[in-house]
Amino acid sequence: MKREGDKPKVPIIRMRKVPFVDSTGAHNLESLIKLSNKDNIQILLSGVNQKVHLVLEKTGIETLIGKMNFCSNIHQAVDRTSELLV
């Protein structure tokens, strides 16, 4: 996002096909979230499976992004985006 200059206000990261997250992936996601927060950009995660969610919870990413920004599916994420943009 930084390289491309694209700065959407509420990007949705679809994770329904992500079977696991290792420490590098968690670190990169955490870095993205922190950089986005500095620019007042709220990231939403969509379709996170239970295994991945547990890793994100243990690494503190759930707290960083906020529980309400973990969405079950893309439809819920779009609805959450609408709430955030009001």
CATH code of residue 75: 3.30.750.24
Q: Which domain holds residue 50?
A: 12-84
pLDDT at position 2:
54
The per-residue pLDDT of the chain, averaged, comes to: 93
Tell me the two tokens of residue 59: 């690494």
In a domain, 51, yes or no: yes
In a domain, 79, yes or no: yes
CA atoms within 13 A on the CB side of 81: 17
**Distance between CA atoms of residues 5 and 1, nearest Å:** 6
CA atoms within 13 A on the CB side of 55: 16
Q: Give the chain's domain count.
A: 1
In a domain, 75, yes or no: yes
The pLDDT of residue 6 is above 90? no
pLDDT at position 28:
97
In a domain, 7, yes or no: no
In a domain, 2, yes or no: no
pTM value is 0.88
Q: What percent of the chain has pLDDT over 90?
A: 87
